[in-house]
Amino acid sequence: MKYSPILPFGALALAIALAAVPAVSTAQPAPAPTPVPMPKTDFSSVMFLTGTWNCTQQLRGSTRPDTSTTTIGMNGAWMVTQDTAPPFDQYRTVAITGTTYTGYDPTIKQWIQIGVDSGGGYGMSTSPGWQGNVMTWTTKNPDGSSATDVVTKNSDTETTDAQTTTDAQGHATTASIHCTKSS
């Protein structure tokens, strides 16, 4: 009987194929990943701020109108305020829009606000929270400027603010703001 030269190659191909077949494993499947819990901020003390507010601000001897709408956003992690202030005097000839994110940092036990606007303004403020019906925000910016904003809750539909802003050279300006909730 004559052997075919193809037979050894067929045996080799069969051996390679068998080696490539995965072996049955008795190992357990990998466990499902554990989801990382997302902490939710307790917004109950500031929830009255959600909605649309109409505000007036006394600034440089003029009354500046302002409209703000606040919602809960970013998967419940932040209050998001969209703000629009139209042109109101010879210095401000274009509308300024801004967005402020308000949340709570349990590590430092402080409320946090991070804001930016269409005029290039920015800032980060902190507050320890309500002391009665007053919440005081403190801002220190990298450019050396600082500010305090004392917010008074007159009711669930009315607030007043007393702001003091100090530039990097130490010049302070003050402003008062009155807001009423429209919806």
Asked if 122 and 98 touch (Cβ cutoff 8 Å), the reply is no
Please report, rounded to a whole number, the percentage of residues in the chain having pLDDT higher than 90.
Answer: 63
- Asked if residue 41 has pLDDT above 80, the reply is yes
Can you list the domains of the chain with their CATH numbers?
Answer: 47-181 (2.40.128.20)
User: Comparing 33-42, 63-72, 99-108, 134-143, which segment has the lowest mean pLDDT?
Assistant: 33-42
- Tell me how far apart the alpha carbons of residues 109 and 17 are, in angstroms, rounded to a whole number: 63
pLDDT band at 32 (very low <50, low <70, confident <90, very high): confident
- Tell me how far apart the alpha carbons of residues 96 and 119 are, in angstroms, rounded to a whole number: 6
pLDDT at 88: 74
pLDDT at 90: 77
pLDDT at 141: 92
pLDDT band at 17 (very low <50, low <70, confident <90, very high): low
Residue 178: CB atoms within 10 Å = 15
Give 89-115 pLDDT, tens digit per residue.
777 788 999 999 999 999 999 999 999
pLDDT at 39: 77
pLDDT band at 48 (very low <50, low <70, confident <90, very high): very high
Average pLDDT of the residues in 122-143: 96
Give 146-157 pLDDT, tens digit per residue.
999 999 999 999
pLDDT at 8: 53
Q: For 26-60, what is the HEC assignment?
A: CCCCCCCCCCCCCCCCCCCCCHHHCEEEEEEEEEC
